[in-house]
Amino acid sequence: MPRDQTAVLPVVAVTGATGFIGQHIVKRLTEAGYAVRALARRLPTQDQAEDDSISWVLGALNDEAALKSLVKGASGVVHCAGAIRAASRAEFLAVNADATRRLAEIAANEGRPPRFVYMSSLAARHPRLSPYAASKRAGEQALRALQDRIPMVMLRPPAVYGPGDLETLRIFQMASRGFILRPMVPEARTSLVHVGDVAGAVLAALEVETPPGKPVEFDDGRIGGYTWEEIAQAAGGAVRTNPRLIPVPAAVLYAAGALASLVSTLAGRPSVLSWGKVPELLHPDWAAEATELIGYKPSWSLDRGFKDTVNWYASRGLLTT
């Protein structure tokens, strides 16, 4: 159905719009009838550039003029941009905490402050585990200081997978070869969520009448999360194999993390795996707590979500099934 060009659509400002999760959020917002104003360092992909419901503000999270243009007159702000890899704790904090505070303060100074949705992480539950986790908790704390000035919802997704995610690709590549490496952590459980449901949670957070008073943990609806055995079974089903799990001792993970940190330092390119990331991998409980967000209804089961993800990988030649 053609869009009514004379209608004035409510504007939602989005950071991280060109990233894995951000692209899905933008698509969901435009489908729901919002106009999106997105921050980007450079011009977007052709598909996004041709969407007339998306306008672009060129700039970075440390560019106050760009941030002011981004949020001006917006009814909502979705702060999805963040660092999942960084060279140091200070770099994590600069992106995930300082930039979050800067954007929220600018939004709070609007005549009519917009609803502010912050994409935090389940890792923020345990800030002492890693620099990343600490930076995400610091971002939440920065926002709490502004809660009396701007309506906000802080979302804590667990591990996110789906079309466009190149981090989870490793799991399916291993599964296609008949094995999956897993941390040697007895009775470990983790929640998962398809990126389409993350976009649904953002939409619910923008539209819920009364914002929750605390960070919202959410997942795909599986109470208590999944064991590694269940994850391996679902991954194997998606790639038509029966992978065996190979437990990796903590000492080996720390050695791999140390090596990855050294290589990253020498190359000048941070990686997700690092010495500081290993405690997160060894933590036994990454199951999301049940925190109700009115309007959020997950629709992707693990089996269906994994198949959807594998189909995307295969369509781009990243995985042979």
Confidence label for 320 from pLDDT (cuts 50, 70 and 90):
confident
Say what percent of the chain tops pLDDT 90: 88
What pLDDT band is residue 3 in, cutting at 50, 70 and 90? very low
The model carries a pTM of 0.94
Mean pLDDT of 210-234: 96
At 175, list the tokens.
Answer: 């599964």
Report the amino acid identity of residue 52.
D
pLDDT-based confidence at 268, cuts 50/70/90? confident
Q: How far is CA 218 from CA 43, 62, 157, 253, 281, in A?
A: 32, 30, 6, 28, 20
Q: Which residues pair with 285 in a beta bridge?
A: 189
- The residue assigned the tokens 């939440």 is 140
Burial of 68 (0-12, 13-18, 19+ CB in 10 A): middle
**AA identity, residue 75:** S
The fourth-level CATH superfamily of domain 11-161+193-220+288-299 is NAD(P)-binding Rossmann-like Domain (3.40.50.720)
Contact 176, 241 (CB under 8 A): yes
Asked if residue 229 has pLDDT above 50, the reply is yes
The whole-angstrom separation of Cα 52 and Cα 40 is 16
pLDDT given at position 46: 64
Per-residue CA distances from 53 to 7, 22, 37, 45, 272 (Å)? 11, 15, 8, 14, 33
Question: Quick one: the chain helix, strand, coil %, rounded to 5?
Answer: 40, 15, 40
Check residue 10 and report its DSSP letter. P
Asked if residue 11 lies in contact with residue 26, where contact means CB atoms within 8 angstroms, the answer is no
Alpha-carbon distance 152 to 155, whole Å? 10
pLDDT at site 111: 96
- pLDDT for residue 49: 65
Give domain limits for the chain.
11-161+193-220+288-299
User: Could you give the CA distance from residue 139 to residue 152 in angstroms, rounded to a whole number?
Assistant: 13
DSSP class of residue 275 equals G
pLDDT value for 7: 57
Q: Is the pLDDT of residue 47 over 80?
A: no
Count of residues making up the chain: 321
